[in-house]
């Protein structure tokens, strides 16, 4: 059997035109650079600047009016935990937003912690590839505490794009409900500090799937890119570890969010109330003999040009024969 090394150099009269290997393709590395920190107050902090307008044209992620009220400030300042982080903090939950926490399974099982912080909603981000998910059942724990819950089952990193939007909408619907005192009637002056609900998003370690979900939530609600979102989550939970496959999936999620916002902005500028104009097509006339001859000449020219383009598109073979 001919090895890859033999083929890379030569085999008989055939020589490889390019170097290659038998290694399986891997997802491209997704590097997250360190954030720009401000030490003016004596402690490191990062400011997450986001859009002040909610450009969604649908309620895929919740009531657009409510979401607009959440982002009116245009920025969120987070105190970085890099100086205070201890190994034991991995077993605790950290606050990312006034109403949103991230943590491990042990934090969700800590009834004293849940009641002291006043959590009203538990979100479990589970992997179906890891076997039974009974130990990660948010509904079972929430029933014990008398609060609401939601389970997000992920088969693979790319599956998050299909599962996360519904989960994000469920969270925002719950927050909107608590902001209005148990009523779904929205007030125009709702602010994050009047939201009575608190959400804990967790996975087994609090460092992988739950971190990816919180990053996706920040991207969808605050219109920030994937790098800024991961930096924001890591500034509060320093131990997060999101693999490259999940980072690439979040990058694809960012592209989809950008497309949705583009559509929403386009629809805002369109005049929906205007009557549709009736476009009358010009009358079609029968072809004359001159038209037939002209079409034949055009087709011949087109075929000739296509042949030239076909020649130009021909690439080089991976191997070439030295005897030719």
Please state, for a pLDDT cut of 70, what percent of the chain lies above it.
73
The pLDDT value recorded for residue 263 is 85
Confidence bin at 184 (pLDDT 50/70/90) = very low
Domains and CATH numbers, the chain: 45-269 (3.90.190.10)
SS3 assignment for 160-192:
HHHHHHHHHHHHHHHHHHHHCCCCCCCCCCCCH
- Measured CA angle at 247 (ends 241, 248), to 5 deg: 155
The pLDDT value recorded for residue 324 is 65
| 17 has a pLDDT exceeding 60 | yes
C-alpha 287/C-alpha 268 separation (Å) is 44
In the chain the beta strands, taken as DSSP E runs, fall at 10-11, 14-16, 45-49, 75-79, 94-97, 100-104, 121-127, 148-154, 199-203, 319-321
| 35 has a pLDDT exceeding 60 | yes
CB 71 within 8 A of CB 54: yes
Specify the higher pLDDT residue, 204 or 76: 204
Confidence bin at 55 (pLDDT 50/70/90) = confident
Residue whose C-alpha is closest to residue 225's, from 25, 3, 32: 32
CB 154 within 8 A of CB 123: no
Specify the higher pLDDT residue, 146 or 270: 146
The pLDDT value recorded for residue 26 is 63
| 72 has a pLDDT exceeding 80 | no
Tokens of 46: 């990062």
Residue whose C-alpha is closest to residue 104's, from 158, 141, 154, 157: 141
* Range with lowest mean pLDDT among 167-176, 189-198, 209-218: 189-198
CB 20 within 8 A of CB 4: yes
CB 244 within 8 A of CB 230: no
Confidence bin at 304 (pLDDT 50/70/90) = very low
Q: Compute the average pLDDT of residues 174-203.
A: 73
pTM of the model: 0.74
| 24 has a pLDDT exceeding 50 | yes
Rounded-to-5 percentages of helix, strand, coil across the chain: 45, 15, 40
**265-290: pLDDT as tens digits:** 887 777 555 545 545 555 555 555 55
Residue whose C-alpha is closest to residue 109's, from 239, 202, 236: 202
**210-262: pLDDT as tens digits:** 999 999 999 999 999 999 999 999 999 999 999 999 999 999 999 999 998 88
| 8 has a pLDDT exceeding 50 | no
What are the distances in angstroms from CA 73 to CA 49, 50, 198, 265? 9, 9, 20, 20
| 188 has a pLDDT exceeding 60 | no
The pLDDT value recorded for residue 230 is 96
Q: Give me the half-sphere count of Cα atoms (radius 13 Å) on the Cβ side of residue 223.
A: 21
Q: Compute the average pLDDT of residues 177-189.
A: 61
Confidence bin at 129 (pLDDT 50/70/90) = confident
What are the distances in angstroms from CA 52 to CA 60, 169, 222? 18, 19, 8
C-alpha 211/C-alpha 202 separation (Å) is 8
| 9 has a pLDDT exceeding 70 | no
| 303 has a pLDDT exceeding 60 | no
C-alpha 249/C-alpha 208 separation (Å) is 13
Specify the higher pLDDT residue, 212 or 306: 212
Q: Compute the average pLDDT of residues 181-185.
A: 53
Q: Compute the average pLDDT of residues 20-34.
A: 72
Tokens of 82: 């890099």
The pLDDT value recorded for residue 313 is 57
| 311 has a pLDDT exceeding 90 | no
């Amino acid at each position: 059997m001919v090895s890859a090394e033999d083929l890379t150099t030569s085999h008989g009269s055939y020589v490889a035109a390019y170097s290659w290997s038998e290694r399986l393709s891997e997802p491209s590395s997704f590097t997250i650079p360190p954030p720009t920190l401000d030490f003016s107050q004596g402690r490191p902090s990062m400011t997450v600047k986001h859009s002040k307008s909610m450009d969604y044209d649908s309620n895929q992620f919740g009531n657009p009016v409510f979401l607009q009220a959440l982002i009116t400030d245009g920025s969120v300042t987070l105190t970085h935990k890099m100086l205070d982080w201890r190994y034991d903090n991995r077993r605790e939950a950290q606050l990312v937003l006034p109403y949103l926490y991230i943590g491990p399974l042990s934090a969700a099982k800590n009834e004293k912690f849940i009641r002291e912080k006043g959590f009203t909603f538990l979100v479990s981000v589970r992997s179906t590839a890891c076997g039974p998910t009974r130990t990660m059942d948010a509904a079972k724990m929430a029933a014990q505490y008398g609060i609401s819950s939601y389970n997000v089952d992920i088969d693979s990193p790319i599956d998050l794009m299909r599962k996360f939007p519904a989960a994000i909408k469920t969270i925002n619907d719950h927050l909107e409900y608590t902001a209005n005192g148990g009523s779904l009637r929205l007030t125009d002056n709702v602010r994050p500090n009047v939201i009575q609900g608190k959400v804990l998003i967790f996975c087994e370690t609090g460092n992988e799937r739950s971190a990816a979900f919180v990053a996706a939530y920040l991207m969808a609600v605050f219109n920030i890119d994937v790098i800024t979102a991961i930096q924001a989550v890591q500034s509060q939970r320093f131990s997060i570890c999101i693999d490259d496959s999940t980072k690439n999936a979040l990058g694809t999620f960012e592209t989809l969010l950008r497309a949705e916002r583009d559509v929403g902005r386009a629809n805002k500028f369109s005049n929906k109330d205007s009557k549709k104009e009736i476009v009358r097509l010009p009358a079609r006339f029968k072809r004359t003999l001159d038209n037939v001859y002209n079409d034949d000449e055009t087709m011949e020219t087109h075929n000739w040009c296509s042949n030239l383009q076909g020649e130009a598109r021909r690439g080089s073979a991976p191997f070439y024969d030295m005897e030719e």
